[in-house]
Structure 1
Amino acid sequence: MSVQVRSISNSDFDAVHHLLVTNGWAHRIGDVEDLGRLISASQRAVVALADDEIVGFARAITDGISNGYVSMVVVAEQHRRRGIGQALVEGLIGSEPDITWVLRAGRTGAAEFFAKLGFRASSTAMERPRR
């Protein structure tokens, strides 16, 4: 199985919405139009395709110079542990050494996954949670 990571296009929104809803992210995205607004407000959004099917999605907010926030990395359950998540993160953040990337690793296994990609726990981050 070969996997391709590319920038998202408007024609992908329905498939990405389905991927997110079926993989535990429904509470964060609303309907397809809400998802479109989230993606529009993100500077980077990529999808992973396997055999022309969207099996992964990731998005980030960044100034492209100094700071970035990885907001979502989602891989369809049956396609996990095959390097797709890593390919999504690499496609999303690139190799820009001057950008500090942050994220919330709140899901089971997320901290371990991101640690393998060079992220580490920070004692300097602060958070104002949503209400």
Structure 2
Amino acid sequence: MIVRDLVPSELPSVHQLLCANGWAHRVGSLHEFELLIAASQRTAVATSESGEIIGFARGITDGISNGYLSMVVVAAAHRRQGVGQALVRHVMGTNTSISWVLRAGREGADAFFSSLGFSRSTVAMERTRG
């Protein structure tokens, strides 16, 4: 497995991965997904030895103080193999002065993100989509 920054030519493949893994309602059309990526400061893909895209993550950050981990998606056949952890570490980088937040609503998300140093917060607030 290789984890690296997303390159623009991979947008259709990443879009397809997201749609196939329950994220179609969040990414919209390919054009809408391209706009999401353009507004993201950090994006990463994980590829298999054969070059197939098997995971994706994106983050929104000012690079100094705050960051939001927006998407972490791994193809079903490659889960529980360290792909998601590698993607999260790549997106967060090495600057430990950035506080990263996320929404962990999917089954198993608490355990997964806890293993990466995240903990439940009692100070977060949310305004959901209308």
TM-score between the two structures when normalised by the length of structure 2: 0.98
Pair 1:22 & 2:20 matched: yes
Question: Number of residue pairs matched?
Answer: 129
- Could you tell me how far apart the structure 1 residues matched to 2:14 and 2:96 are? 29
- Could you tell me how far apart the structure 1 residues matched to 2:45 and 2:31 are? 18
Gaps of 5+ in 1: none
- Could you tell me how far apart the structure 1 residues matched to 2:98 and 2:71 are? 18
What percentage of residue pairs aligned between the two structures are identical? 57
Q: Deviations over 1:93-124 (max 9, x none)?
A: 01211000000000111111000000000001
Residue of structure 2 equivalent to 1:109: 108
- Could you tell me how far apart the structure 1 residues matched to 2:109 and 2:117 are? 13
Residue of structure 2 equivalent to 1:124: 123
Residue of structure 1 equivalent to 2:8: 10
Residue of structure 1 equivalent to 2:96: 97
DSSP-derived class of the 1:34 partner: helix
Q: CA deviation at 1:41?
A: 0.2
Q: Deviations over 1:29-59 (max 9, x none)?
A: 1111111100000000110000200000000
Q: Deviations over 1:55-95 (max 9, x none)?
A: 00000100000000000000000000000000000110012
Q: Residue type of the partner of 1:16?
A: V
Q: Residue type of the partner of 1:48?
A: A
Gaps of 5+ in 2: none
- Could you tell me how far apart the structure 2 residues matched to 1:6 and 1:12 are? 12
Q: Residue type of the partner of 1:115?
A: S
TM-score between the two structures when normalised by the length of structure 1: 0.97
